[in-house]
Amino acid sequence: MIPTMLMSIVHRITGGALYFGTLLVAAWLIAAATSPEWFDCVSWLYGSILGRLVLFGYTWALLHHLIGGIRHLVWDTGAGLDKQLSTKIAVAMPYVSVALTVLVWIVGYMARGA
């Protein structure tokens, strides 16, 4: 499969995944506005191993989709459309998105002191 085609497909999938992730953010905000007990329940769920794995995936989907969007904005200017450069960018995208995701989580853990 051609890397640019694969990244286009992954871009669409991550866009769909962001809909689900937005429901998680909405649930967290609703819990924060409802009561301390409900907020503690949602925080416990998101803090569990499964919850953190889902949130890590959401972070990756968000960053990967953002990078894909930036790639498309650059293409809209007419830059980076030649086959070799667009293929190199497509090959780099998964590595960059995973690295940024890990960096965001490291900074997040450092900021909360854990």
What single string gives the DSSP state of each residue in 76-103?
HTTTT-SHHHHHHHHHHHHHHHHHHHHH
User: What's the CA gap between 67 and 30, in Å, rounded?
Assistant: 29
Q: Is the pLDDT of residue 114 over 70?
A: no
Sorted by sequence, the CB contacts under 8 Å of residue 8 that are 6+ apart come out as 68
90-109 per-position pLDDT tens digit: 999 999 999 999 999 999 99
65-95 per-position pLDDT tens digit: 999 999 999 999 989 889 999 999 999 999 9
User: What's the CA gap between 41 and 56, in Å, rounded?
Assistant: 19
36-63 per-position pLDDT tens digit: 999 999 999 999 999 999 999 999 999 9
Q: Is the pTM of this model over 0.85?
A: yes
Average pLDDT value for the chain:
94
User: What's the CA gap between 80 and 103, in Å, rounded?
Assistant: 26
19-29 per-position pLDDT tens digit: 999 999 999 99
